[in-house]
Chains A and B, each alone.
Chain A
Amino acid sequence: MDETTVRKIAKLARLQLQDDEVAHFATELGGIIKWIEQLSEVDTKGVDDVADWAGPVRFRVDEVTDGDCREAVLANAPAVEFDCFVVPKVIE
């Protein structure tokens, strides 16, 4: 894997990497990918790719089951103002 790809993936994953990390991941991820590529030799024609073995997914009724817990929701926030989560400015 080349360093350009590593930087592209890191950007998609919102991970800031140091230059030495980029070089390291290029080698390491390349090795892992080479190893997982052995899967291409398996004939999977006609094999269903839906992981339905655990049974059908249950859906609950679409209704409010919670609420009135603003303090609990905000309790762990790094920055709070006026009972809202605060983030850096997103509109100039």
Chain B
Amino acid sequence: MADLTELSIAAAREELKTKRISAVQLTRAYLERMAAHKDLNAYIIETPETALAQAKISDEKIASGKAGIMEGIPIAVKDLFCTRNVLSTACSRILAGFKPPYESTVTTNIFGAGAVMLGKTNMDEFAMGSANLNSFYGPVKSPWKRKKDDKILTPGGSSGGSAAAMAARICAGALGSDTGGSIRQPASFTGTVGIKPSYGRCSRYGMIAFASSLDQAGPIAGTVRDAAIMLEAISGFDERDSTSAPKETPKFELALGQDIKGLKVGIPKEYLSDKLDPEIKKLWEDGADWLKKSGAEIIDISLPHSKYALPVYYIIAPAEASSNLARYDGVRYGLRIAEQGDSLDQMYMKTRGQGFGPEVKRRIMMGTYVLSAGYYDAYYRQAQRVRKLIIRDFDEGFKKVDVILTPTTPSAAFALDEKPTDPVEMYLNDIFTVPVNLAGIPAISLPAGLSKDGLPLGLQLIGRMWDEEMLFRVGGALEEAAGFKAGARD
């Protein structure tokens, strides 16, 4: 076999099951490839010893017929997930040196299913960002290059390290998290597949909190099938998360390969503006055509409150963040900055002032402002009500259609030095992904084509609450029709 890191999770699992390769051999292949791609800055720490020890156990389990659905598959873990005795910082200085004495439920589940941990991946600090430029550990480089110049491109964010690792094939799959698009946008920028499941599908226990009513874990993978395998491995009810849903996890993989004849696909007219890049518009139309040729019916729908989703998000997410991040006080864990004679308040102020980066501070300030006396009703309460209207829009839409098709991002990946300096302009990156988080519903991004500059572009499918199976079913058909084969490898 030429290169083991070229295998999909589904293919690698077959090779492992039939013992043509071993998990140790597969893990070594990834560790070697990681060593050759350190310049991407995708991993903030590598855990080769853990990986090889886990792989050895996987080989024993395979030999004794006790393999889990991810047995022996090497994965990357976003640094947002707490991993026992392994540095977990959300790429923030304020969590410098933090080694949790416990394991997140999502990582417990995936390691329980047999996965092997290669390391922790870089991300925007506390998952706040869309370009991975807000990390204490520095930016991640996308493994992609565009035709017109040799500039370093962003892999997107906040799960930028996970997406870059997947695109560079220095993992077989990666864990990410998505609060406003942090799985789907980087997946779109790097030619990979990413799914944000329904709110409550994956436990938030041990996932460092950003905005608790929006945060969900999910996979970034190479194919729709691999995303289905990974999502099945991490999902499930957990009593330690009060918003975890007491639901059976479906066998997501079985949804693939079913035909989509007669399914109704919605095109929301509000997502089509005059300002939409013609390239993105063309890709969107191609996507609708492919689904139509596969037997689906294309139906125009209206989601009238779409334009308010971003401002709603930039009230609710910072409000929840300012509350969640109040716990970082320099007392129980992480960074402490205090001089002799400082008061407790001075210690808090210095620790937080120096421990958080600029974007995190900006959002804490915003959140504190919108929740402060006199402003709560005008901003926070109004945002919660408009959020309800956005949810109603989707409810109405899903009375007419089974799934909604949109672009994932308004543009292809940009160069690190082309990042907008105006935060509002930067926030517009998430225009197609944010409404989904506000409504709690699931959505998948998959690569559907290349820009004229040779960069991957993604399409997004949005589903009804708890209907990830529909996303895998239609996503599988779309993936086949798009025939996206281009890789980031040089």
Contact = CB atoms under 8 A, between A and B. Distances in A.
Interface of A: 1, 5-6, 9-10, 12-17, 21, 25, 28-29, 31-33, 35-36, 38-40, 42, 44, 47-51, 53-55, 57-60, 69, 72-73, 75-79, 85, 87-90
B261 to A, nearest CB: 32
B271 interface: no
Interface stretch (B55-63, B177-185, B361-369, B396-404): B361-369
Given A9-B368, A36-B314, A78-B336, A16 B353 contact: yes
B311 A35 contact: yes
A16 B350 contact: yes
A76 B98 contact: yes
Interface string B408-437: 000000000000001110000000000000
B101 A31 contact: no
Given A38-B311, A44-B389, A13 B368 contact: yes
B482 to A, nearest CB: 33
Contacts of A31: 422-424
Given A32-B314, A51-B213, A15 B353 contact: yes
Contacts of B137: none
Contacts of B352: 13-16
B29 interface: no
Interface stretch (B15-23, B272-280, B327-335): B327-335
B384 A78 contact: no
Interface stretch (B4-12, B30-38, B341-349): B341-349
Interface stretch (B73-81, B128-136, B138-146, B237-245): B237-245
Q: Top 3 A-B pairs ranked by shortest CB distance?
A: A16-B353, A76-B333, A72-B101
B99 interface: yes
Given A32-B424, A75-B101, A76-B333, A42 B382 contact: yes
Contacts, number: 157
Given A16-B352, A47-B385, A54-B243, A29 B369 contact: yes
B43 interface: no
Contacts of B424: 31-32, 35
Contacts of B199: 54
Contacts of B242: 57-60
A9 B342 contact: no
A79 B213 contact: no
Given A35-B424, A36-B379, A44-B389, A16 B311 contact: no
A38 B378 CA distance: 11
Contacts of A90: 343-344
Most interface-central of A9, A15, A58, A69 (chain B CB within 10 A):
A15
Interface residues of B, number: 68
A27 B208 CA distance: 30
B385 A15 contact: no
Most interface-central of A9, A10, A13, A51 (chain B CB within 10 A):
A13
B382 A39 contact: yes
B484 interface: no
13 contacts: A14-B349, A15-B352, A15-B364, A15-B365, A39-B311, A39-B379, A40-B382, A48-B385, A49-B385, A51-B384, A57-B243, A69-B101, A89-B344
Interface string B194-210: 00000110000000000
Given A31-B424, A36-B314, A87 B347 contact: yes
A39 B312 contact: yes
Nearest to B85: A75
Interface string B133-166: 0000000000000000000000000000000000
Contact of A44 (B213, B346, B382): B382
B362 A15 contact: no
B290 interface: no
A32 B384 contact: no
B364 A42 contact: no
Given A6-B365, A39-B312, A87-B344, 18 more contacts: A1-B369, A10-B365, A14-B352, A15-B364, A32-B424, A36-B315, A42-B305, A42-B386, A53-B391, A54-B213, A55-B245, A73-B101, A76-B99, A77-B333, A78-B333, A79-B336, A88-B342, A90-B344
B440 interface: yes
Contacts of A55: 200, 245
B158 to A, nearest CB: 19
A29 B365 contact: yes
A52 to B, nearest CB: 9
Nearest to A16: B353
Contact of A15 (B200, B356, B386, B423): B356
B236 to A, nearest CB: 15
A32 B367 CA distance: 12
A25 B365 contact: yes
A50 B361 CA distance: 27
A35 to B, nearest CB: 5
Contact of A14 (B312, B345, B391): B345
